[in-house]
Amino acid sequence: MFKKFERAYKPAANASFSHRPFTRKKSCRFCADKVLKIDYKDTRLLRNFVTEKGKIMPRRVTGNCAYHQRKIAKAIKASRNIAIMPYISLNV
Amino acid sequence: MKNNIFADINHNFSRKYETVIIINPDLDDSQYNQFVEKIKGIIAKEGAEIISISDWGLRKLSYEIKKISKGRYIVVHFLAKSNVVAELERNLRNTEDCLRYQTVLFTNDLESSKEEAVNV
């Protein structure tokens, strides 16, 4: 995995061969900013980690580290339980 | 013997909890006050202390519960032992006006700031 990212930063030789030319290495938002807190009542933050239909997005899309992805998934599930977040949203 | 040890663990520590309760939006103010005092009574009876009770007001639910699309949110913080939580939830389960409840261990991550109440 790591080698792939390195290749993406130096597109000189392999640019025509690589299948994903613009893979950028994502960094975990919560590791970078330690003031950010994961709260299950904070919908504004949790909306970023959910698709339009209301599914939880995978780690390879959001770029979270494993620790924070676990926390986010739990927070979303808790907020679904008390009807703050939808299980499925059909209208969007 | 094992049972005795387990009982000690359950009853000696008191921890902070946070419960979110959704109640029926059709209740009057007097009925609402009655409900809140009932909760206070349950928690106080067991010797636990209430830290705060905050009212979020009316809020649109993201899905219908018992064919009701709006709800009134109450957030209660309290410091109690684990048996108090069980007692509280048992009481909430039996009241009809309570649509949902959820109890969570309070950690520093949970901000006590209230969500913006959406008046519809």
Render B81-118 in DSSP notation, one character per residue: -HHHHHHHHHHHHH-SSEEEEEEEE--TTS--PPPPP-
pLDDT 10s digits, A50-84: 998 889 999 988 888 899 999 999 999 999 998 88
* pLDDT value at residue B119: 41
Instruction: Return the number of CB contacts < 8 Å for A and B.
Output: 41
> What is the SS3 assignment for A56?
strand
Separation CA A59–CA A34 (nearest Å): 19
Taking an 8 Å cut-off on Cβ atoms, the answer to whether B71 and A81 are in contact is no
Using CA coordinates, name the residue in chain A closest to B69: A83
pLDDT at B120: 41
Please indicate if any CB of chain A lies within 8 Å of the CB of B61: yes
Q: Which residue of B has its CA nearest to A43?
A: B115
Look at A86 and B62 and tell me if their CB atoms are within 8 Å. yes
Please list every residue in chain A whose beta carbon sits closer than 8 Å to the beta carbon of residue B63. Answer: 83, 86-87
Question: pLDDT tens digits, chain B, 120 residues: what are they?
Answer: 556 665 555 556 788 888 999 999 888 889 889 888 988 888 888 888 888 888 888 888 888 888 888 889 999 888 888 888 888 888 889 888 889 999 988 877 666 554 444 444
SS3 A41: coil
For chain A, report the end-to-end CA distance as a whole number of angstroms: 35
Instruction: Give residue for tokens 């939006």.
Output: B25
Cβ pair B71:A83 closer than 8 A: yes
Query: Is 0.85 exceeded by the ipTM?
Result: no
What number is the average pLDDT over the span A26-44?
84
For an interface test with A, the pick among B20, B70, B92, B120 (most A C-beta atoms closer than 10 Å) comes out as B20
CB proximity under 8 Å: A 3-62 to B = 37-43
What span, in angstroms and rounded, lies between the C-alpha atoms of B90 and B72? 20
**Hey, which bits of B1-97 come out as E strands?**
15-23, 49-65, 68-80
Encoded amino acid at A85, one letter:
M
User: B82-94 vs B29-45: helix axis angle to the nearest 10?
Assistant: 150
Task: Compute CA B119 distance to the chain's CA centroid, rounded to the nearest angstrom.
Answer: 22
